[in-house]
Amino acid sequence: MKAVAYSIKPFEKEFLAKANQKKHDITLISNPLNIETAIYAEGKDAIIVFTNDDVSASVIDKLAELGIRYIVTRSVGTDHIDKDTAAKYAIKLSNVPSYSPQAIAEHAVALAMALNRKLIKADHNSHLFDFRNDGLIGFNFSGKTVGIIGLGKTGMATAEIFKGFGCKVIGYDEFLPAGDDNILRAELDDLLASSDIISLHIPLTPDTRHFIKKATLDKMKNGVMLINTSRGAIIKTSDLLLALESGKIGNLAMDVYEYEKGLFFEDHQHDIYKDPLIRNLLARENVIITPHQAYLTREALQEIANQTIYNLDMWQQDKCVGKACVCAKNCRAVQLK
Ligand code: NAI
């Protein structure tokens, strides 16, 4: 199969090469997909994208014109793809349904730990030979209540780590009934009101956009720690800033940002204009931000590459990609009949 992979970072190449074993003819480019760069897909069967590529209706129109029949995203999330437009052209879609939930969970917890124990500031001070303890007080995780919103793969993996710390872990999931997973279920309002730490693990959909906004923030404990490793737009950033200002949120850890498209994954140090919302967040000592890197472990990168190539293999043989199918019209169900 001939494919072009957009937004490829140098560190991804070895993992893709190892997974591909020269089976598919893949052109790797660092540019993100957008209406201008869609032309690189000319003569290809498939495109391979990532979370911040523009796979909106107008770009898919262009891709269809160029003859693209398959789109695979190297991510779990598929919120960046206009699935209905792809279905209109019978373009097949796939994702990487699960690569390493532990990678995401460990990063969520790493952010929480670094933030709580002021590790960034402490290390910075140590480098300056300032070894005072002033301003470095944190709190014990042990004994605290952690609320996990979204009890899928990453939510459950995060819950397990916090349980290991001696936390009381409670969870809310709109679609997943209580099972034998040992996570105490809570109604959303109860979770918001009783958690000292809240970690978000839901996908971004039209229903979950701004899931965390003034109304939900108001229900949280004063001084709550909020962790977001799922998708930026799950939180309404303008309301978040007000909650930080008022002290409602005591600590904020985020790996994703509502307006990260065109910002994250690139070096913007020398830009004259800098997004004022994220500048405001970055100026606060009780906020830690990483650039959408929760997935970034060697194990996860290899799994992503393996599943990406597997999806191309299946399509080449005219087979269904199984759980990786994310087509709007459930082609998986049709094909599996
Ligand atoms: P998953 O599909 O295993 O779990 C998501 C859970 O959220 C499901 O159990 C679902 O029932 C629940 N859910 C959906 N809508 C809900 C709602 N309105 N209220 C409550 N629960 C709801 O997905 P997984 O693997 O845990 O990933 C979650 C999200 O994390 C992905 O969709 C992706 O956006 C993000 N992610 C971020 C990464 C990063 O590098 N920062 C890497 C991987 C995933």
What average pLDDT does the segment 168-179 reach?
93
Distance 112 CA to ligand 1 centre (A): 19
Retrieve residue 314's tokens: 């299946």
pLDDT value, residue 64: 98
pLDDT value, residue 333: 45
State the chain's mean pLDDT as an integer.
96
Pocket of ligand 1 from Cβ distances under 6 Å:
76-77, 101, 104, 149-155, 172-176, 201-204, 207-208, 229-231, 255-256, 292, 294-295
Instruction: Please write the tens of the pLDDT for every residue from 248-297.
Output: 999 999 999 999 999 999 999 999 999 999 999 999 999 999 999 999 99
pLDDT value, residue 282: 97
Q: CA 10: distance to chain centroid?
A: 20
Name the residue at shortest CA distance from atom 23 of ligand 1: 152
Least confident of 17-21, 96-100, 163-167, 245-249: 96-100
pLDDT tier at 62 (50, 70, 90 boundaries)? very high
Amino acid at 311: N
Residue 322 and residue 329: Cα distance in Å, rounded?
14
Distance 176 CA to ligand 1 centre (A): 12
Q: Percentage of residues in the chain with pLDDT exceeding 90?
A: 95
Ligand 1, residue 175: give the atom nearest the CA. Answer: 11
pLDDT value, residue 334: 45
What average pLDDT does the segment 214-225 reach?
98
Residue 179 pLDDT more than 90? Answer: no
Instruction: Please write the tens of the pLDDT for every residue from 96-151.
Output: 999 999 999 999 999 999 999 999 999 999 999 999 999 999 999 999 999 999 99
Distance 234 CA to ligand 1 centre (A): 11
Residue 44 and residue 27: Cα distance in Å, rounded?
9
pTM for the whole structure? 0.94
Residue 213 and residue 84: Cα distance in Å, rounded?
28
Q: What is the DSSP string of 171-229?
A: EE-SS----SS--EE--HHHHHHH-SEEEE-----TTTTTSBSHHHHHTSPTTEEEEE-
Domains of the chain: 2-99+298-336 (3.40.50.720), 101-289 (3.40.50.720)
